[in-house]
Structure 1
C-alpha cells in the first residue's frame, strides 16, 4: 500500500484541526498545555507534550508541518529557533504551512486574552522563513473581511479604555457567522490564484529543499 503522509500539528490546542487532518495521513499533535492535550486525546488524536522551540522529534521525520497562530504566542521565547526546528524535523521536500497574526500596528485586547506576543509584518515573516532556509512557495494576507471591524475595535479600545477586558472569542451572532463563512469561502477560492494585499493574518507555505 501507499505510505501515509506524516503530519505534525505544532501547537495543536484541543486537537480540532489535527483530527480533521487525520484523513490525509498519520498526524501527531504537539502542545505545551496539559488541558489542551487531554481534550485532543479525547478526540482520538495522537499527542506529544513539548515546545515548538525544541521539538521532541527526530530530524527529517515529517512530510508536512502545520502551525496555526502559534509562533507569535507569548510562550515562544525564541521565534527564530522555532522556525529552525520546523525546518529540522521536516523531511527534505517537506512542507511547512503556517498562519500568524499580521499588522504590528494593530493591537487588540483580544491579543492579550489569546496570549499573542506580537503581530508580524509580511517582510518580517519572509525574513524569518529565509533565515531558516525555507523556500517560500506562498506568502499572503488572510482574513481580509475581518480587518475593518478589527481596526475599528482596536481604535475604540484605545479611545475608550473599558474596565472589563472582553475577549473576542465568544459566539458570533448569526449574520456575522454568515459573513465570515461567505467571506472566508470567497477568500479561500481567491487565494488559490492570487495573494491578498492586506488582512488580519498572514499565511505562508514553505518547502524544505531536497538537498
Structure 2
C-alpha cells in the first residue's frame, strides 16, 4: 500500500463507515465463539491499529504489519505488542492464539503464496480457535482503488473455502459483504470507461456525515443479518470465519 494510504487510513478509520462496519462484524463473530473474552488475539496485517484498539477489551491483542509507517501510526494510538515484519515469512507460535485476524491483506501484490500463510495461521491457532478473513471480492471489480492499494487479485467464495478446508479448517461463515457497493463499483467502472479519470486515487476519502451515517446504518443491518440469519450471494468483500478443530473431534 502506498504511504499516503496509511495516513488516510489513520485519519479515517475511527469514523469511516466501511471500517466501522467491518470492525463491528469481527467483534460479533468473536463474541459468538468466545462470549467470555480473556483471549489471545493476533491481527496479521494490522495497518494503523484501529482493529486492535477496538479489540482491547477482549484480552491480549497483538499485531503485525510490513509497513514501518503503519506500525508507527499504531504506536501513536498507544498500542503495544505491534511488530514490523513480513507476513510471508512470519512464523506464528504454534497453538498460541484463540483468534487470528487478517483483514484485507492476502490480496496484496507482495503476497507470495497465501496457502502457506494460511497454513501457518492454522498452526498458530489453539484447538477450536478461529481465523477471521476479509478479502476484496471478484476480479471484475478491479479499478483505480486497486492500483493504489496494490491489489494482486480479488477473491471468490468457492475456491477460498476449498483452500481452507484442504488445510483442515471448518468453515463457520462464508459470505459476501456490502452488495450495494458491488453495484456502485460496477456503475463507476462503466462511467470511467466513458469519462477517463484524470488521476488515480483510492476510495479512502471521507464523505458527508449524513451519507456516512446512512451507510453505517445499512452496514449494521447487514451485519446483524450475516451474524444471525444467513449469507449474501454478492458483495464487494468476502468475509470468512473458519475454525481449527480440536484433535479429539
Q: TM-score, normalised by structure 2?
A: 0.80
2:92 corresponding residue in structure 1: 57
* Aligned-partner Cα distance in 2 for 1:65–1:114: 22
* Aligned-partner Cα distance in 2 for 1:166–1:67: 24
Question: Is there any run of 5+ residues in structure 1 with no aligned partner, and where?
Answer: none
Cα shift at 1:147: 1.6
Q: CA RMSD in A?
A: 1.6
Contact in 1 for aligned 2:127/2:246 (Cα 8 Å): yes
Question: Is there any run of 5+ residues in structure 2 with no aligned partner, and where?
Answer: 1-35
User: Given the alignment, which residue of 54, 58, 61 partners 1:27?
Assistant: 61
State the Cα deviation string for residues 56-107 of structure 1 (Å, max 9, x = none).
4311111100111111112211111111111111111110011101112211
User: Given the alignment, which residue of 81, 88, 104 partners 2:123?
Assistant: 88
How many pairs does the alignment contain? 210
2:110 corresponding residue in structure 1: 75
User: Given the alignment, which residue of 193, 196, 204 partners 2:232?
Assistant: 196
By percentage of residues, which structure has more helix? Answer: 2
Q: TM-score, normalised by structure 1?
A: 0.93
Structure 1 segments, 4+ long, off by >6 Å, are: none
* Aligned-partner Cα distance in 2 for 1:109–1:146: 15
Determine if the alignment matches structure 1 residue 38 to structure 2 residue 75: no
Cα shift at 1:3: 8.6
* Aligned-partner Cα distance in 2 for 1:56–1:42: 26
1:102 corresponding residue in structure 2: 137
Matches within 5 A, 1:132-211: 132-192=167-227, 193-211=229-247
